[in-house]
Amino acid sequence: MELNGRVAVITGGSGGIGKSMAKAFLDEGAQAIVLADLHEETVLATAGELDCDAMVCDVTDETQIVRLVDETIAKYGRIDVFCSNAGAGGVGLLTDATNDVWQRQWELHVMSHLYAARSVLPGMLERGEGYLLNTASAAGLLAAMGSGPYTVTKAAAVKLAEFLSITHGDDGIRVSVLCPQGVNTAMAPRSLGDGQTDGIIEPDQLAQTVVEAIRDERFHVLPHPEVEEYVRRKGDNIDRWLFGMRRLRRQSTGEA
């Protein structure tokens, strides 16, 4: 899909990846961008800077997602691209992460994508075209060893995107899942779990990868291309991959 003349919604749009995607889409000739974010002051400031629309939205509340979609369609007549991008880091393993942490990560990284798809798909299906871009993480394809809630929910986000593509790909709906390693944002990790990333990239560089992936209609959006090879190795021999990850965990914790 070409972005020229398109109407796009971007959640988590007040800064970082969301803001950079908005800038890149506008450079491609997008007709309109609606930025949605939980933080009113920052999303209004970003929208004013980029000459976009803005809306305060808690993506874990389905009624607010429905309002975002309905008001965008009321103004522009359609949504061509919905970027479900909002997310947050999470810490803890299986035993020390509270149920509240697990639930919050689930709602933010999985249910928000589901709410967006439920809300925007009817209009897209009626027109016979549309694009869903869900932000997950390389951790969803591999692992972030320092955070069980983050890794598990990001993996679920990838699986949800796969299911959407399988279910609606023949209906003209294109789906991509964005899976970066480290990005230089406010929540930028300096490592992927306890293993080193393949470099911390700038959000603008990531946004260009997103534009190219949407143009080519690629499912995996991998700003760190090395991730593709890691996923291939994991698929080739899961037991060897798990052994290697356990060894990396032992090294990072100083265990023998």
Q: Kindly list the catalytic residues.
A: 150
CA distance 225 to 175: 19
CA distance 63 to 194: 38
Tokens of 35: 């930025």
Count other C-beta atoms under 10 Å from residue 56's C-beta: 16
- The answer to whether the beta carbons of residues 29 and 12 sit under 8 Å apart is no
Count other C-beta atoms under 10 Å from residue 133's C-beta: 22
Tokens of 222: 């991998």
With tokens 């890691």, the residue in question is: 230
Nearest to 92 by CA among 103, 81, 77: 103
Count other C-beta atoms under 10 Å from residue 102's C-beta: 17
Taking CA atoms, 244 is separated from 67, 169, 202, 206, 250, in Å, by 46, 35, 29, 28, 10
Nearest to 76 by CA among 53, 99, 97, 92: 53
Tokens of 221: 């959006």
